[in-house]
Amino acid sequence: MDKEHDYEEKLLIKVAWYYYIENITQQEIGEYLGISRLRVNRLLDKARKNGIIHFSVRDGNSSRMQIERDLIRRFHLKDAFIVPPAVNGIDINESVAQAAAMYIHDRLDKSSCINMGYGDTPGRILNHLANMSESPVNVVSLTGGVSCYLPNTQSSIFNARLHLTPAPLLMKDAQMVSAIEEEPGVQQIRNMATLAQMTIIGIGSMDENATILTNGTLSYNDFLLLSMKGAVGDMLCHFIDKDGRPVPSDIEGRLISTSLETLKSLDNTIGVAAGIAKTKAILGALRGGYLDILITDEATASNILEICDSE
């Protein structure tokens, strides 16, 4: 029995060798080794599955490719883009924002329209995008709050037409929200959002550097409470747990922001986030099925896959 196994293994190696290294046809290998072509075919299958034969692509990008494919397969994405690790002291957020802008630019038709979420990264992307495109990009905001969407670049060319929701991000109470949502100006923006070709949103994590915290939209206490309720991050200020389910809170009712259901229904939603601190948040967003495309850095992507595998 063990001997049989050993013989089979040898056969596997020989067949793999002849087929892949010597380029001999399965037919001929079969004749030479005195086995049927079909057997050769199956042995090759086995050899591939068992890793007896191993393909490798000579290229520095291959590991990133691998990660991209893994992410796409695992989370049923349309695409994934992994940014190489930062070299020396370069801000990974900036790299990823730049990559995202490039990615979007390559895929954006002339004079078309994109939705933008709230956050530091989307803001940066917008800046890059507006700088690199020759014809103006139409940008529709998915949330209230305007500061994030405004250009903070000194470049003279800012080729973007901004269509911002004329409202703050967080209101005092739900009544105010309903009132604002009735506004024609707000409705108009909401309608535009449905026409956009793609949607770019940032993914926030629960650490103390979160934009919504540092810009004063939420208090530290709100944040802590959400964390305790199981929130791992947010998209458009909607907090989600590790499986992407919404975490209920009083904030939810006070938001001027596209709902998660609407987000899910959009076709080309690109999630952008960098840094290992965001790992859990991104994983939540992926598991929730909100994203069609993910753009992140290599370290974070590896982290995500690692967590998945270990669970």
Q: Give me the residues that bind DNA (CB under 7 A), please.
A: 19, 25-27, 36-39, 41-42, 44-45
The DSSP code sequence of 142-202 is: SBS--GGGS-----S---EEEE--SS-SB-SSHHHHHHHHHSHHHHHHHHHHHH-SEEEEE
Nearer to its own copies, 99 or 247 (CB): 99
Residue 275 half-sphere exposure, CB side, CA atoms within 13 Å? 20
Q: Which stretch in 55-63, 176-184, 191-199, 269-277 sits in contact with its own copies by CB under 8 A?
A: 55-63
DSSP secondary-structure letter at 113? E
Biggest alpha carbon distance in the chain? 83
To its own copies, the closest distance from the beta carbon of 98 in angstroms equals 6
Residue 277 interacting with its own copies (CB under 8 A): no
Instruction: Report the first-to-last Cα separation within the chain, whole angstroms.
Output: 36
The binding track of 97-116 with respect to its own copies, each residue x by CB under 8 A or -, is: -xx--x--------------
- Contact present, 253 and 174 (Cβ < 8 Å): yes
Residue 55 interacting with its own copies (CB under 8 A): yes
| Residue 205, strand partner residues | 233
Residue 148 contacts which entry, its own copies, DNA, none (Cβ below 5-8 A, type-dependent): none
According to CB under 8 A, which one of 34, 49, 51, 221 is a site residue for its own copies? 51
- Tell me the CA distances in angstroms from 126 to 145, 203, 290, one per residue in order: 15, 15, 21
Rounded CA gap, 281 and 244, in Å? 9
To DNA, the closest distance from the beta carbon of 81 in angstroms equals 25
Q: Which stretch in 34-42, 84-92, 108-116, 166-174 sits in contact with its own copies by CB under 8 A?
A: 84-92
Q: Which residues bind its own copies (CB under 8 A)?
A: 6, 9-10, 13-14, 16-18, 20-22, 24, 28-29, 32, 51-63, 65-66, 69, 83-84, 86-88, 90, 95, 98-99, 102, 132-134, 157
